[in-house]
Amino acid sequence: MMKEDTFKIHLYVADEDFYVEIPKDENEELLYRKAVKEVDRLIRAYRDKYKHSDNTELDFKKLLAMTALHLAKDKMMLQGLKDDSHCLQRIAELDKDLEAFLSKK
């Protein structure tokens, strides 16, 4: 039974459907939706980067593990930063990477 201050959203991530109960907050929903896009982007990037010579793809479980490791590393790095200048620099780098990735499409 859902609480009155929450609602369910439908997410499709890593080729799976999920219904997630979250607080009734537009920002919270936006964070989940952005997170889905980031996970899917990383999966595609690793899939493209590590194709086998016979053009077959890595096992999906390995792609998910690599994506999880990437995100965990980024989280650990961000937690270890003490001043905002490093955060702003990393955000600028990620923004540049994202723009480069999107311009390829």
Residues 22-41 have pLDDT tens digits of: 999 889 999 999 999 999 99
* 1 in a structural domain: no
The full DSSP string for 5-71 is TEEEEEEEETTEEEEEEEES-HHHHHHHHHHHHHHHHHHHHHHHHT--TTSPPPPHHHHHHHHHHHH
pLDDT (tens digit per residue) in 37-62: 999 999 999 998 888 777 777 888 99
- 73 found inside a domain: yes
Q: Does the predicted model carry a pTM greater than 0.75? A: no
Q: How many domains does the chain have?
A: 1
Residue 36's domain comprises 6-103
Q: Is residue 42 part of a domain?
A: yes
